[in-house]
């Protein structure tokens, strides 16, 4: 929930930065303004400020892409949190089951994967930094289940187009198959188990008493192996959290 007097300049600047780092190509001022629902002149001032701070850089066609500053900030944040360093050895141990293993964090309607390996080889095909709609992710559902219903409704029904609602389709919230009911079932059982594609599903649990990340296993999971996988995930989550200083 926003404070009584939110800093609009800060919010809009972060929205511009989020749009740049989420895009697979450079964005122009007017395109970004349409995407965020902001005035082009305001977006132009924000982009020029971000460029001056090296969080963005202007390229051919007067478009912008992420600058070196954002890469430094990302590296510093990962190093400072220590999450990846603590998690790696425990995540690698989960590959013994022969399914994909992932670690992710939640930001509004998106899950960002800090670790995602789809083979039994923990060194192969690691994907970091990719985002996915939280409502379509087992890790996302596990983390959203710890939010209040009020917060979930605010995220998926924002009154302001610039509040970082950039790419996720809005899922149905109400009804027996809606997101609110799915989150309630997840709270009751203490873990997320959702179908992601035909024949595939994801099992995920959160990390931390006040969850800050989640770990999951994805694949053609059978009902018989879910209890074993849940035990392994729960143990790994506790070990990862226990490594905090």
Among 72, 102, 125, the domain-final residue is 72
Q: Give the count of beta carbons closer than 10 Å to the beta carbon of residue 72.
A: 12
Q: For a pLDDT cut of 70, what percent of the chain falls above it?
A: 89
Q: In the numeric block, which tokens belong to residue 58?
A: 């202007």
Range of the domain at 49: 8-72
CATH number assigned to the domain comprising residue 43: 1.10.10.10
In a domain, 141, yes or no: yes
DSSP three-state, residue 218: strand
In this prediction, residues 147-176 reach a mean pLDDT of: 76
Domain count, the chain: 2
List, in order, residues 6 or more apart from 173 with CB less than 8 Å away.
Answer: 152, 153, 156, 157, 179, 180
CB-CB neighbours of 218 under 10 Å: 22
Q: How confident is the prediction for the chain on average, in pLDDT?
A: 88
- Has residue 26 been placed in a domain? yes
Question: What pLDDT is stored for residue 119 in this prediction?
Answer: 62
Q: DSSP string covering 158-187, please?
A: -S-TTSS--SPPPPP-SSTTSHHHHHHHHH
pLDDT for residue 130: 75
Mean pLDDT value across residues 59-67: 94
- Residues 77-107 pLDDT 10s: 877 778 888 898 899 999 999 999 999 999 8
Token pair belonging to 102 = 């992932």
Of 40, 72, 104, the last residue of a domain is: 72
CA distances from 187 to 75, 123, 151, 203 (A): 33, 33, 15, 14
Say which CATH number the domain at 232 has: 3.30.450.40
């Amino acid at each position: 929930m926003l404070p009584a007097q939110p800093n609009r300049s800060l919010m809009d600047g972060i929205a511009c930065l989020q749009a740049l780092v989420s895009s697979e190509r450079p964005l122009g001022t007017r395109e970004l303004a349409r995407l965020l629902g902001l005035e082009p002149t305001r977006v132009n001032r924000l982009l020029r400020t971000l460029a001056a701070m090296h969080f963005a850089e202007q390229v051919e066609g007067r478009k912008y892409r992420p600058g070196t500053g954002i890469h430094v900030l990302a590296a510093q944040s990962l190093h400072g949190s220590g999450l990846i360093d603590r998690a790696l050895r425990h995540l690698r141990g989960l590959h013994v089951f022969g399914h994909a293993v992932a670690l992710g964090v939640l930001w509004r309607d998106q899950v960002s994967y800090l670790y995602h390996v789809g083979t039994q080889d923990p060194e192969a095909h690691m994907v970091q930094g990719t985002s996915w709609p939280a409502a379509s992710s087992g890790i996302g559902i596990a983390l959203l289940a710890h939010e209040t219903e009020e917060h979930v409704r605010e995220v998926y029904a924002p009154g302001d187009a610039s509040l970082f609602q950039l790419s996720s389709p809005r899922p149905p919230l109400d009804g027996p198959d809606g997101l609110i009911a799915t989150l309630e079932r997840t709270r009751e059982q203490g873990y997320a188990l959702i179908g992601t594609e035909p024949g595939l599903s994801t099992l995920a649990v959160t990390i931390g008493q006040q969850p800050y990340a989640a770990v999951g296993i994805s694949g053609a999971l059978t009902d018989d192996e879910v209890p074993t996988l849940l035990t392994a995930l729960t143990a790994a989550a506790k070990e990862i959290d226990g490594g905090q200083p």
